[in-house]
Amino acid sequence: MTASGTFGNGVEFDDFIDINKLGGILLKGTTLHHREGNDYPRMAETPSGMLNAVGLQNKGAQYFCEHIYPKVARYNTKVIVNVNGSTIEEYIELTQQIAELEHIAAIELNISCPNVKEGGMAFGTSCPMAEQVTRAVRKVYPKTLIVKLSPNVTNIVEIARAVEAQGADSISLVNTFLGMAIHAESRRPVLSTITGGLSGPAIKPIALRMVWQVAQAVKVPVIGMGGIMNATDAIEFMIAGASAVQVGTANFIDPLITMKIIAGIEEYLNRHKMSSVNELIGSLQM
Amino acid sequence: MDKKVCDLLIIRNIKLNHDNYLLELESDELLGTIVPGQFVNVLVPDAPSTFLRRPFSIHETNISNNRFSILVKVVGEGTRKLGLLQPGNHLNVIFPLGNGFSRPKNYEKILLIGGGVGIAPMMHMARESKELGAEIHILLGARTDKDHILIEDFSKHGPVYLTTNDGSLGVHGFVTHHPVFSADHHFNRIYCCGPDPMTHAVAAKAAQLDIDCEVSLENMMACGFGVCLCCVTSTTSGNQCVCTEGPVFNTKQLKWQI
C-alpha cells in the first residue's frame, strides 16, 4: 500500500506505475471542509529523513466526492480514504459522506496528524479520546475501518488495544514523529509551524519496535509503516507482525519504489521457499 | 508530455568557474517535448547526507541528440557531488517537471532576466523565443565579475546586459538598477528567474512600468511532481504547488507584497 499524504490521489503516479498492481492506495488526508494548509516553508530535509508541516491541505469532502472520487473509482485496487477531523462531529459527517461511495474499500481514521492545531493528534494521544472517536465512526461506517496511530505517545499498545476494543478492523502505524529543525545562523525555525512530522529511514527502528509491540497485543491485522525504503525494510515490518505495509516518504524520492518493493518481496519469498507472505507475518525468530 | 524516471548518461561535466558546472545528459529514448522553464529532479549518487532529490532548471536542450543540460551551482554536499561526476557516469532523473514559461508571439519584444544560477532556464528560453521570431534582450546579474558565466552563449540570442553587486563588471548594483528599464524599450513581457529578493524587485519594477511579468520560483520541494504539497506558494487561487502549478507564475497570480 501507499501511505496517505505521499501518493496524492494516485493520479499523480499514473505516468510512472500501474497503480492496479498495488494492494491498495491511501489517498491524501481529507477533511470535511476545505483547508489551505500551513504557510511555506513546510519541509525540512534532515539526516535520513524529512520534516513536513503540510497541515492537511485539501479541498474538502464535497470536492472529493465530485471531482476526485470519479478519477480514483476506476482503479482496480483498494482505494482507501484517510479521514481527518477537528471534532467528533466532523469525523462522523465526513465518514458518512465517504460511506456512500461504492468504490472506496475502507477508511483510515487519522487520529495522528501532528500538523494541525486542533484535533488530529489530540485524538490519538489520549486513550479516552481515541476510544470516543473510534466508537463514533464505527457506528456510522459499515465497511473496513482502519485506525492510524500516532507514535507520539508513552504507551502505544494501550491506544491500540483501546481502538481495537471499539471496533477497529485494522490498525495502521506509525504516523510521523513530532520534531523540529532550526537554522543555526539565523536562529529561526526552518518550518513556518516551528514543529513538524519526521518521516523517512530515520524513524524506522522506532516504528518497527512499535509495530512489533502492537502486533503482539491486538488480534486485528496491523499495517506497518515508518521509513520503508526498500523490500528488505518492508519484509522486516512483516516479520515484526505487520500483515501489510505502507510505503510513504520513499515515493517522493523514487516514484517507482512500490513496484520495486513488490518485486523484492516476491524474490525473497522464492529464495526462502515461502508460498505466501502469510508465512512471513509475525515470523520473528527468537 | 508524460513524466518519467530515467538513468541518463553524462556526456560532459564542464567546470564553468569556481562553483558552477554544466552537466550535459543524454537519454537513450526520445526526449519528447520540453518547454523552456521546466525542470528535472535529480537523485544525487553516493551522497548519504542528501536524502531528497535536488531540482534543477533545464538549461538547454538538443532534441535531435536526446540531450539536455543543467546548470549546477555548488552550495552543499549534494551539488558538490554532482560537480565531481564524470562523463560515462549515470544520473537518475525525473523529468520533465513543471509548467514552463509562456511562449512569446513573433512580434513581441521580451526581456529575460537571470540572477546567479537563476540564469539557468534562460538559455533554452532565449533560443526558443528567438526561433519563434520574438526580439530577445537578456539581463544577467551576479555578485562579481567572477560569478558571471555563459555570457558569450547568451549573446548569440540577443543583446546582453550585465550587472554586478560590486561593480566589477557591467552596471554596479542589482538588475533593477540597469538602465535597460529606463530606456525606451517597451517590452511586452519580462521573464525572470533568480533569488527571491531579486524576483520580488523585478516584479515590483515590472508592475511600476506596467509590463507583464513571469517569474520562476525555487521553493524547497520533496517530490517535484505534486504529491508532498511542501513547495506551495500563496496565489490568488490559494496555496499552489510550485512543482506542478509552477515553477513559472505570472506575478499577477502571486500574493506578493511588492
CATH number of the domain bearing residue B116: 3.40.50.80
**Any idea what the CATH number is for the domain that residue B17 is in?**
2.40.30.10
Q: Identify which of A13, A28, A43 has the shortest CB distance to residue B222.
A: A43
Residue B187's pLDDT is 97
Check whether residue B206 and residue B144 sit in a common domain: yes
Q: Which residue of B has its CA nearest to A16?
A: B4
Q: Is A127 a catalytic residue?
A: no
Q: Is the pLDDT of residue B14 over 90?
A: yes
Backbone region of residue B88 per phi and psi (left: phi > 0; alpha: psi in -120 to 50; beta: other values): left
Q: Is the pLDDT of residue A118 over 70?
A: no
For chain A, the structural domain boundaries read 11-38+54-177+198-279
Cβ separation A45–B52 shorter than 8 A: yes
Q: Which residue of A has its CA nearest to B4?
A: A16
Cβ separation A45–B229 shorter than 8 A: no
Mean pLDDT of B127-155: 97
pLDDT confidence of B112, banded at 50, 70, 90?
very high
Task: Flag whether B232 is in a domain.
Answer: no
Which residue type sits at A187?
Answer: R
The total number of structural domains in chain B stands at 2
- Domain with B35, as residue range(s), is 4-97
Q: Identify which of B48, B220, B229 has the shortest CB distance to residue A41.
A: B220
Q: Report chain B's mean pLDDT, rounded to a whole number.
A: 96
Mutate to test the interface with A, among B51, B75, B257 (most CBs of A within 10 A): B51
Percentage of residues in chain A having pLDDT higher than 90: 95
Whether A60 has its CB under 8 Å from any CB of chain B: the answer is no
Cell of B21: 558546472
Longest dimension (CA), chain A: 56
Residue A122's pLDDT is 81
Task: Flag whether B125 is in a domain.
Answer: yes
pLDDT digits (tens, 9 = 90+) for A22-55: 999 999 999 999 999 999 999 999 999 999 999 9
d(CA A201, CA B238) in angstroms, rounded, equals 32
Distances in Å between the alpha carbon of A163 and those of A109, A158, A240, B129? 11, 9, 20, 61
Task: Flag whether B228 is in a domain.
Answer: no
Task: Please count the residue pairs, one from chain A and one from chain B, whose beta carbons lie less than 8 angstroms apart.
Answer: 89
Q: Which residue of A has its CA nearest to B229?
A: A54
Check whether residue B115 and residue B175 sit in a common domain: yes
pLDDT digits (tens, 9 = 90+) for A250-265: 999 999 999 999 999 9
Q: Identify which of A48, A52, A251 has the shortest CB distance to residue B51.
A: A48
Residue A280's pLDDT is 97
Q: B97, B127, B145: which is the final residue of a domain?
A: B97
Task: Flag whether B174 is in a domain.
Answer: yes
Topology at the third CATH level for domain A11-38+54-177+198-279: TIM Barrel (3.20.20)
Cβ separation B229–A28 shorter than 8 A: yes
Q: Which ipTM value was assigned to this complex?
A: 0.94
Residue A115's pLDDT is 76
Are A170 and A221 spatial neighbours (Cβ–Cβ below 8 Å)? yes
Core vs surface per residue B169-195: b (16+ CB within 10 A) or e: bbbeebbbebebbeeeeebbbbbbbbe
Gyration radius of chain B's alpha carbons: 18
Check whether residue B191 and residue B116 sit in a common domain: yes
Task: Flag whether B179 is in a domain.
Answer: yes
Residue B49's pLDDT is 86
Q: Give the rounded distance of the alpha carbon of A67 from its chain centre.
A: 22
Residue B258's pLDDT is 76
What is the distance in angstroms between the Cα of B14 and the nearest Cα belonging to chain A? 27
Mutate to test the interface with B, among A25, A45, A254 (most CBs of B within 10 A): A45
Residues of B with Cβ-Cβ distance to A5 under 8 angstroms: 228-229
Q: Is the pLDDT of residue B35 over 90?
A: yes
Q: Is the pLDDT of residue B57 over 90?
A: yes
What is the distance in angstroms between the Cα of B40 and the nearest Cα belonging to chain A? 13
Report the relative pairing of strands A188-189 and A182-183 from DSSP bridges: antiparallel
Residue B257's pLDDT is 83
Mean pLDDT of A187-204: 98
Residue A5's pLDDT is 97
Task: Flag whether B133 is in a domain.
Answer: yes
Cβ separation B2–A15 shorter than 8 A: yes
Cell of B171: 552596471
Q: Is the pLDDT of residue A119 over 70?
A: no
Per the listing, cell 555563459 goes with B150
Check whether residue B92 and residue B180 sit in a common domain: no
Task: Flag whether B199 is in a domain.
Answer: yes
pLDDT digits (tens, 9 = 90+) for B210-239: 999 999 999 999 999 999 999 999 999 999
Percentage of residues in chain B having pLDDT higher than 70: 100
